[in-house]
Amino acid sequence: MTIENSSDSPLDSSCDSSLPSSRQIALANVVVDIEKTAARLGWDHAPSLYALVATRTLLDQPGLPADIAAQVRKGWDGSEEHLSAIVQEDLAEDELEEMLARLAWPPQVQGAALTVERLVVPPEVEEQAPEDPEEALKFISNHPSRTDVRLAVGALRSGESWCALRTKTFDSDDKVGQGSNLVPNLVEALLLSLDTEGDTEGTVETEATPDEPRSE
């Protein structure tokens, strides 16, 4: 496992009339940091899944390797809400939402996040796509108006969500779109994966302890 944490805030509660909570800001921070890390790795990657853990909880874990602890402390702002992201195994693109619904997170995991790449076309082009899924994918992939996008989506057990969206056409940190519910289906799937009261039959166990650091 590898970890991510960040002290740079994409949200400023002083300029937002809705006054986002400190928990929402912490989630936005870590989602943006996850997206930036994915950007450094380049395009054409499989979806990646992350466990979101309170940084203080992570540092309190017995046996945490010293090099990882040092990296975590370096990015920690000292707050209780600050989150660290622990990357899990890559996911298959097929039936992504269904796979997320089958995940089972340990109690210390406060939230989950993922990155995934998608092809987007204008609505009028999507309406022209064949009904057959394989033919539709081929049609969209070869259409001149297609746009490659990378989505980073995160959600907390307490209900907060945050999304970051980068297009391949405007591949720059200052061109990343952000919002709490830019990708409703993925937000909902992540929230369902965090639902401790759901049916646990057939679930897939995840991890909340890193075993190697990710360099910044």
Cut 0.85: pTM above it: no
Cite the DSSP H helix spans in the chain: 22-41, 55-59, 66-75, 96-101, 123-126, 133-141, 184-193
Distance, CA of 193 to CA of 121 (rounded, Å): 29
Where are the chain's structural domains? 3-205
CA 166 to chain CA centroid, nearest Å:
13
| Block mean pLDDT (10 aa), the chain, length 216 | 56 54 95 96 93 94 90 90 91 80 89 92 69 71 78 96 94 95 92 74 54 37
H helices present in 104-153, as ranges:
123-126, 133-141
